[in-house]
Structure 1
Amino acid sequence: MIKKLILILVVLLAINTQLNAQETGEDNLGSWAMFFGNARLTERISISPEIQYRTYEVGSNFNQLLIRNGFNWHINEKATATLGYGYISTDGTFEEPNGEENTIEHRLYGQFVVKNSLWKIKSVHRYRFEQRFIDSPTNGNDTQYRVRYLLRLTYPINDDWYVSAYDEIFINLEEPIFGQNRLYGAVGYNWTKNIRSEFGYLKNHFTGRNFDRLQLGVWYSLDFRKAD
């Protein structure tokens, strides 16, 4: 009798887990299309516009649109401080009911980036603080704060190809403390001195949820100091 009850509980738990995964889209491979720009205006100042389009499935089922821009102060060649703003529209559910409204977020952020090299390996440490003004159709208006730390390592295969990996952790300044963790690996190609792209895989972990995402990113840089 006890064995039968345990078996029934295990089956029910498995069914519940499967249904939850279907509702949140965890069983689906999603995608992030990303553009990162950088325009160096002077020796000390640059701007960095960014657009990301994220989907629950590869190329379909909208999840999030992120538009962000930062104003950067280059302390030296290895250290940069940034103040910026982001607009984020998020569909928080995998399913698409009629009349669904997105959550809108206005985000202010400050960050500090340090670059280092060890042998051929280049490292980037990014420390970011975010103040988030969130307007949710279900939970109303809310203001939240969090910090993020990213460590990125890049290894050049030759002048054109390289491999890169990063891990980033998100810590909320309110409950729950753990926000998410992103683990990423990619292959990149330098098309020109100013343009490069990466194709990679991201494991996005939340408490009790994990999402797998393919990423295609393009980086484009301009330097207007030559016109000074």
Structure 2
Amino acid sequence: MNFNFGFLLFFLIFLGSNGQSQTKIGATGLWSQYIYKKPLTQRWAIAGDFQYRTYEIGADFQQFIARAAVSYRPTYTAIDVHLGYGFFTGQPFGAAEDNTTEHRLHQDLWFESKLNSRFELKHRIRIEERFIKGQNFRTRYRYTLFLNVPLHRSTIAKHTLYAALWNELFINGETDTGTGTVAYFDRNWAFAGLGYQWNASFKFQAGYMRELTPSTNKGQLVISVFHQL
């Protein structure tokens, strides 16, 4: 995927999802993320994340996520393949009880677009198999476009401040949940923020993400720690 096509897709996704009829939720959520990767050999690694989400900053628990995967880079390629599992537990907006539980398998393809040394453009294609308590088994397909741009250096290295942008589109594989129906378009996430590469092991990001679904339009602050173990 080249640079121009990637950005065309980015804006088409955003404009298309933003044109739907949605209820705008005024409360701003907070998503806290710890994302890790541990190389095992030149081609094998372990990767995953822990996340804690609230519907409002500091209140109204939304979701806890624990996820892990095995990563492999095939010989003579620049593609990383992930195979993983995630555990999810959460609550509906404004609810004190009525927890939902989900077990989820996922398969990822990660790859980069070569632009120049100043732009980091990455892609992730994810397939999910979702086992949600009380609902039918179903699949979901996700595409994410990431762009990082250093602000005071030519490349992102130690002690570099950078702009971070990403957009993620979710498409349901099935619409019958067993308790009702959902649209094929599941949601879209659009994020803009700042990142700081502290050293080879740690980088930090903070910014604002807008989530659009067929029925809602909501914003959340996203704070992320990336750890290369």
C-alpha distance in 1 between matches for 2:226 and 2:77: 19
Aligned to 1:178: 185
- CA distance in 2 between counterparts of 1:43 and 1:192 reads 20
Secondary structure of the 2:114 match is: strand
The aligned counterpart of 1:34 is 33
Residue 111 (structure 1) aligned with residue 118 (structure 2): no
Higher-RCO chain (CA-CA 8 Å, sequence separation at least 6): 2
**How far apart, in 2, do the equivalents of 1:59 and 1:49 lie?**
24
After superposition, residues 129-148 of structure 1 pair within 5 angstroms as 129-135=127-133, 140-148=134-142
Q: How far apart are the structure 2 equivalents of 1:154 and 1:206?
A: 25
Kindly indicate whether residue 70 of structure 2 is the aligned counterpart of residue 79 of structure 1: no
* Aligned residue identity for 1:169: L
- Name the % identity: 31
In structure 1, what is the equivalent of residue 169 of structure 2?
169
- Which has the larger Rg? 1
1:89 maps to 2:89: yes
Number of matched pairs: 193
Checking the alignment, whether the CA contact within 8 Å between 2:92 and 2:98 is kept in structure 1 is no
Q: Give the secondary-structure state (helix, strand or coil) at the position aligned to 1:128.
A: strand
TM-score w.r.t. the length of structure 2 is 0.80
* Residue in structure 2 matched with residue 213 of structure 1 by the alignment: 220
Matched residue of 1:142: which SS? coil
State the SS of the aligned residue for 1:193. coil
**Which 5+ residue runs of structure 1 have no aligned equivalent?**
1-16, 223-228
Q: Which structure has the highest strand share of the two?
A: 1
Which runs of no fewer than 5 residues in structure 2 stay unpaired?
1-20, 176-182
Bigger Cα displacement from structure 2, 30-39 vs 159-168:
159-168
TM-score of the superposed pair, with normalisation by structure 1: 0.81
| Deviation readout 1:70-91 (Å, 9 max, x if unpaired) | 1000236731001000000011
Q: Which residue of structure 2 lines up, in the alignment, with residue 13 of structure 1? A: none
Q: Deviations over 1:105-151 (max 9, x none)?
A: 0000101011123121111111110000001xxxx232111100011
> CA 1:77–1:155 in 2, change beyond 3 Å: closer, same or farther?
farther
Q: Is the 8 A contact 2:72 2:80 kept in 1?
A: yes
Query: More helix by proportion, 1 or 2?
Result: 1
Rounded to whole Å, the distance in 1 between the matches of 2:135 and 2:144 is 28
Asked if 1 retains the 8 angstrom alpha-carbon contact of 2:60 and 2:93, the reply is no
Q: Distance in 2 between matches of 1:67 and 1:94?
A: 23
After TM superposition, list the pairs within 5 Å mapping 1:120-135 onto structure 2: 120-135=118-133
User: Following TM superposition, by how much is the alpha carbon of 1:33 offset from its aligned partner in structure 2, in angstroms?
Assistant: 0.3
Which amino acid is the alignment partner of residue 89 of structure 2?
A: S
Distance 1:163 1:93 in 2: 31
Tell me which residue corresponds to 2:12.
Answer: none
Q: Map 1:199-210 onto structure 2 (within 5 A).
A: 199-210=206-217
Task: Judge conservation of contact 2:62–2:90 (CA < 8 Å) in 1.
Answer: yes
Aligned residue identity for 1:154: N
Please say if residues 78 and 116 of structure 1, whose CA atoms lie closer than 8 Å, have aligned partners that are also in contact.
no
SS of structure 1 residue aligned to 2:98: coil
Distance in 2, matches of 1:218 and 1:124, equals: 18
Letter in 1 for 2:173: L
Determine whether 1:187 maps to 2:194.
yes
